[in-house]
Structure 1
Amino acid sequence: MVVSLISYNKKKLDSSISSIQSIGADSTSFYLKGIKQNSRDEIFVDQALKKAYQYNYKVSYDSLKNRNLLKIAYEAKRFGRDSIFVKANTEGLLLSEKIRDTFGVADAQWNFGSYYYTKENWELSFKFYYKAHINFESIKHEQFSGKMLFNMANVQSQLKDYTGSEITTFQAIKRFKKINNYLSLYRCFNQLGLIARDLKEFDRAKEYFIQALLYLDEIEDSDVYREFVYNNLGLVYQDIQNYEAAIEYFNIPLNRTELKEENIAFYARLLDNLTYNRFLKGEKEEIETSFLTALKIRDSINNISGVIINKIHLSEYYAFMQDTTKAIQFTKDALTLSKKVNNNREWLKSLHWLAKIDRANADNYLEQYVLLSDSLQHEERKIRNKFTRIQYETDEVIKENKLLGNKLILTSISGLILILILSLIYFIFIQRSKNKQMLLEQDQQKANQEIYQLMLAQQSKLEEGRSSERERLSSELHDGILGKLFGTRVGLGFLDLQGDAQTKKKLQGFVNEMQQIEQEIRAVSHDLQNEILSSKIDFYIMAKQYLEKLCNIEGIELIIENDDNINWEMIDTDYKVNIFRVIQESLQNTIKHADASMINVIFAKKQGQLLMKIKDNGKGFNTENKSKGIGLKNMALRIGKLGGSFNIMSKPLNGTSIIISIPLK
Structure 2
Amino acid sequence: MRELFSFTAVKRLLLFVALLSLINCSRTKKDDNFGSDKIITDFNVTLQEIDDLEQRIPNDSLRLTILSKLSLEYLTKDSTLFRKINAATLNLAKELSDDNVAANAYWDLAYFYSRASYLDSSYASYYKAYQKFNSLGNEAKAGKMMLNMAVSQERARDYVGSENSSFKALELLPKTKKKDIYAVHNNLAIIYNGLDDFDRAVEHHKLAIDTALEINDQELLANSSNNLAVVYLENGFYNDALGYVKQALAVKDLKQIDTELYAMVLDNYAYIQLKAGDSKDFLKTSNRALEIRDSIRHQAGMMVSRIRLGEYYLDAEDTTEALSNFKMALALAEDEKNAKYELEALLKLHNITGKQEYLDRYLVLNEQLLNDERGIRSKFARIRYETDQYINKNKSLTERIIWISFAAVVLLFVLGLFLVLQRQKANLTEARMQNSLKESNAEVFKLLLDQQKKVEVAAVKERERIARDLHDGVISRLFGTRMALGFMESDNPDTQTHLKELQDIEAEIRNVSHNLASNSLTSEDGVEKLIKKLIDTFNAHTSTSFELSISRSIDFNTLEDSVKISIYYILQECLQNVMKHANATVCKVALNQKGKTLEGTVQDNGNGFEVKTAKQGIGLANLNYRITGLGGVLTIQSDSSGTQMSFSILI
Common topology (TM > 0.5): yes
Superposed displacement of residue 208, structure 1: 1.0
Q: Residue 85 of structure 2 aligns with which residue?
A: 88
Matched, 1:106 2:100: no
For 1:67 and 1:417, the matched residues in 2 are separated by 41
Q: Residue 71 of structure 1 aligns with which residue?
A: 69
Matched, 1:395 2:388: yes
Distance 1:223 1:411, change over 3 A: same
For 2:292 and 2:55, the matched residues in 1 are separated by 45
Matched, 1:29 2:22: no
**Alignment map for 1:211-610 (pairs within 5 Å):** 211-219=207-215, 221-359=216-354, 361=355, 363-410=356-403
Distance 1:57 1:214, change over 3 A: farther
Q: Deviations over 1:360-383 (max 9, x none)?
A: x3x111111111111111121122
Distance 1:57 1:232, change over 3 A: farther
Match of 2:143 among 142, 146, 165: 146
**Residues 209 and 229 in structure 1, CA contact (< 8 A), matched pair in contact too:** yes
Match of 1:122 among 97, 119, 123: 119
Distance 1:104 1:417, change over 3 A: farther
Runs of 5+ unmatched residues, structure 2: 25-36, 421-585, 587-651
Q: Residue 59 of structure 2 aligns with which residue?
A: 61
Letter of the 1:369 partner, please give it: Y
Distance 1:369 1:222, change over 3 A: same
Letter of the 2:239 partner, please give it: E
Superposed displacement of residue 358, structure 1: 2.5
Superposed displacement of residue 31, structure 1: 6.6
Distance 1:258 1:54, change over 3 A: farther
Q: Deviations over 1:72-103 (max 9, x none)?
A: 11121133x10111111111111111111122
Distance 1:130 1:24, change over 3 A: closer
Q: What is the DSSP-based 3-state SS (H/G/I as helix, E as strand, rest coil) of the residue aligned with 1:78? A: coil
Letter of the 1:375 partner, please give it: Q
Superposed displacement of residue 43, structure 1: 9.6
Superposed displacement of residue 410, structure 1: 4.5
Superposed displacement of residue 52, structure 1: 7.8
For 2:328 and 2:214, the matched residues in 1 are separated by 44
For 2:125 and 2:164, the matched residues in 1 are separated by 19
**Residues 103 and 129 in structure 2, CA contact (< 8 A), matched pair in contact too:** yes
Matched, 1:207 2:203: yes
Distance 1:139 1:356, change over 3 A: same
Distance 1:358 1:75, change over 3 A: farther
For 2:322 and 2:373, the matched residues in 1 are separated by 31
Distance 1:54 1:252, change over 3 A: farther
For 2:132 and 2:39, the matched residues in 1 are separated by 36
Superposed displacement of residue 172, structure 1: 0.8
Superposed displacement of residue 179, structure 1: 4.6
**Residues 17 and 69 in structure 2, CA contact (< 8 A), matched pair in contact too:** no
Q: What is the DSSP-based 3-state SS (H/G/I as helix, E as strand, rest coil) of the residue aligned with 1:160? A: coil
Distance 1:303 1:45, change over 3 A: farther
Distance 1:172 1:307, change over 3 A: same
**Residues 157 and 165 in structure 1, CA contact (< 8 A), matched pair in contact too:** yes
Q: Residue 528 of structure 2 aligns with which residue?
A: none
Letter of the 1:29 partner, please give it: V
For 1:34 and 1:326, the matched residues in 2 are separated by 56
**Which of the pair has more CA radius of gyration?**
1
Distance 1:43 1:166, change over 3 A: closer
For 1:53 and 1:323, the matched residues in 2 are separated by 62
**Residues 269 and 294 in structure 1, CA contact (< 8 A), matched pair in contact too:** yes
For 1:187 and 1:200, the matched residues in 2 are separated by 20
For 1:228 and 1:423, the matched residues in 2 are separated by 68
Q: Residue 482 of structure 2 aligns with which residue?
A: none
Superposed displacement of residue 216, structure 1: 3.3
For 1:43 and 1:181, the matched residues in 2 are separated by 29
Superposed displacement of residue 332, structure 1: 1.4
Superposed displacement of residue 26, structure 1: 2.3
Letter of the 1:60 partner, please give it: P
Equivalent pairs, count: 411
Between the aligned residues of both structures, percent identity stands at 31
**Residues 50 and 84 in structure 1, CA contact (< 8 A), matched pair in contact too:** no
Matched, 1:190 2:186: yes
Q: Residue 605 of structure 1 aligns with which residue?
A: none
Q: Deviations over 1:373-418 (max 9, x none)?
A: 1111112112212221211111010011112223344455667789
Distance 1:52 1:35, change over 3 A: farther
Letter of the 1:366 partner, please give it: L
For 2:268 and 2:47, the matched residues in 1 are separated by 40
**Residues 349 and 358 in structure 2, CA contact (< 8 A), matched pair in contact too:** yes
Superposed displacement of residue 33, structure 1: 7.0
For 2:278 and 2:407, the matched residues in 1 are separated by 82
For 1:412 and 1:61, the matched residues in 2 are separated by 33
For 1:98 and 1:195, the matched residues in 2 are separated by 40
Q: Residue 516 of structure 2 aligns with which residue?
A: none
Superposed displacement of residue 28, structure 1: 3.8
Q: Residue 159 of structure 1 aligns with which residue?
A: 156
Q: Deviations over 1:296-340 (max 9, x none)?
A: 111111111111111111111121222222211221111121122
Does 162-171 or 20-29 show the bigger shift?
20-29
Distance 1:40 1:111, change over 3 A: closer
Distance 1:22 1:45, change over 3 A: closer
For 2:268 and 2:12, the matched residues in 1 are separated by 54
Q: What is the DSSP-based 3-state SS (H/G/I as helix, E as strand, rest coil) of the residue aligned with 1:282? A: coil
Q: Residue 658 of structure 1 aligns with which residue?
A: none
For 1:257 and 1:50, the matched residues in 2 are separated by 49
Distance 1:262 1:53, change over 3 A: farther
For 1:284 and 1:380, the matched residues in 2 are separated by 37
Superposed displacement of residue 354, structure 1: 1.1
**Residues 25 and 58 in structure 1, CA contact (< 8 A), matched pair in contact too:** no
Superposed displacement of residue 263, structure 1: 1.4
Q: What is the DSSP-based 3-state SS (H/G/I as helix, E as strand, rest coil) of the residue aligned with 1:285? A: coil
